[in-house]
Amino acid sequence: MDATPRPRSDGRAPTPLVAMALAVVMFCALAPPVAAVPAPPYFGPPPGFTAVDTNYLRIVIQNGAALDAAGFAVAYGPYLDRGYEEITTLFPAPPLRPELYVYASPAALEAAIAGGPMAAEVALADPGPGSGEIALALPRLQTLSPLEAENTLRQALARVVARRAAGGRLPPGFETGIALYVERPVSARIARVAALLQNANRQNELPPWTILAERAPAAVDLALVTAQAYGVVAFLVERYGLQRLNEFVTTLRHQPDWQVALRQVYDRAPAELEAEWRENLPQWTANGWQTNLFAAFDLQPARDLLAGSHYAAAKAELGSSLRLFTELGDVARQTETEALMRQSDTGLQAESLMTQIQATLEAHSYPRARELIEQARSQFAQLPSTQRVDDLLTGYARIAAAGHQATVDLEVARRLAPVWTDYPEARAAALAAGVAAAGLGDQTVTDQARAILDEIDSRQRRIVLLLVALAIMTFAWLGFWRWSRGPAGLDWR
């Protein structure tokens, strides 16, 4: 930018304290980049403003605004601190605390700053020319949704941090691309970016990368330039990683020629990188635009998926996060992500066991089902209580126990059936096995139990018939015997 967002001076000579502060700031600016320079003393906000510090920023708000400094810090401070914390894992943190100037009205903001054409898309929050300052009009910010407000602040913070990391030499297009890339992704907006680039590519109207170094590109659609800025940064990140992007930006502090810096960091000529980007563009505009590695900074979507037991989707999200934090060397977040990955793996194993349990129960393999149920209980015990399925496992265990008992009863019936004295017990066991198996839909056990019952009935019928035949034969023999005895009154004397 060509103007600073600080309130305009009234033309009076600076007081001794202000002069001292300016001298300290100038000394810090002239010091070697590697020197450890203490922060200059803070003499408070300018007249007509009040200030409050968040964890990383200083909020300076104009008197008469709808929110005071403390209220603004409560409403928007978490967005600022979270955005600053994430962005400064990619680029070095500015040596001085960034200041956010909040004006009571758009007119007051416009009176304090003058934004160039390349800043048109940041009409609500505008960083100063390298001083680590940001300005915005509170009424405009308050009309935005929470996501839009967060992205507005993240974009301005990214401009300040990246600009300072590059020593003020970051080409405007790369600055815009970085600022857009670190936003919380809005699918509809990025889809429009992809559509613009797709149409321009088909019509052979893509401007060269050199357009990204122009502050006010003439005769070119600014929306297309902005889309190309995002697309180029996304390509560099996804093809070569965030660490290379950080190296490119920080190299500019010592190398004023951005094309030379590109060659040094990426070990390729800018024309070669541009050719790779153009070759990859059709694939990116088709579906690659849906990937934003920096969005993986936010672990909350993965946590929400885990809470809903969507373990496969959570693992996919966490894979991107793990890659991000590994590239950035963020050990704390990497450890946190790995813990969530283990939870998703445990959940996937538990889900797999549940699928196997259902399959074994459908196959009526009850001993195996009981083993799997115990394994599933062990896996779910490692998950939060809200993700457990104790009732379902209890139901599965009840089915497996009933099926197992049916097979036991069937074996008892099969063992007792050959002995006619054990027919009552064999019949009862076979009947119990058949009833239980029929209730479980186990046709095999049901048929086997019915076969045993039929066999018992058949044997009992044969015994009855044998006894009847024996009785008939006995009566016939008795009749024959009585007939063959002759008269009983013979006297042989």
pLDDT value of position 320? 86
Query: Could you read off the pLDDT of 200-226 as tens digits, one per residue?
Result: 999 999 999 999 998 777 667 889 999
Element (H, E) at 102: strand 99-103
Which tens digit of pLDDT belongs to each residue from 424-454? Answer: 777 787 778 778 878 778 778 787 778 777 7
Give the SS3 label for residue 51. Answer: strand
For residues 288 and 189, the answer to whether their CB atoms sit within 8 Å is no
Q: Say if residue 29's pLDDT is above 50.
A: no
Burial of 88 (0-12, 13-18, 19+ CB in 10 A): middle
pLDDT at 24: 31
Residues 6+ apart with CB under 8 A from 139: 66, 104, 105, 106
> Does residue 155 have a pLDDT over 90?
yes
What whole-number percentage of the chain has pLDDT above 70? 83
Determine contact, residues 265/245, Cβ cutoff 8 Å.
Answer: no
Q: Which of 33-37, 41-45, 194-198 has the lowest mean pLDDT?
A: 33-37
- What letters, b where the CB count within 10 A reaches 16 and e where it falls short, cover 56-77? bbbbbbbeebebbbeebbeebb
- Of the pLDDT bands very low, low, confident and very high (cuts 50, 70, 90), residue 492 is low
What pLDDT is attached to residue 121? 36
31: helix, strand or coil: coil
The residue-averaged pLDDT of 53-69 equals 93
- Please give the C-alpha separations between residue 492 and each of 61, 481, 482, 487, 488, in angstroms, as whole numbers: 151, 21, 20, 13, 12
Model pLDDT, residue 424: 78
Q: What is the largest CA-CA distance in the chain?
A: 175
Chain mean pLDDT for the chain: 81
175 within 8 A of 87, measured Cβ to Cβ: no
**Is residue 190's pLDDT more than 80?**
yes
Q: Is 126 helix (H, G, I), strand (E, B) or coil?
A: strand
pTM of the model: 0.69
Q: Is the pLDDT of residue 21 over 50?
A: no
pLDDT tens, position by position, 313-365: 999 889 988 988 888 888 888 999 999 999 999 999 998 999 999 898 888 88
Kindly report, residue by residue over 89-147, the tens digit of the pLDDT. 999 998 888 899 999 998 888 887 654 333 333 334 545 444 567 889 999 999 999 99
For residue range 223-273, what is the model confidence (pLDDT) as tens digits? 999 999 999 999 999 999 999 999 999 999 999 999 999 999 999 999 999
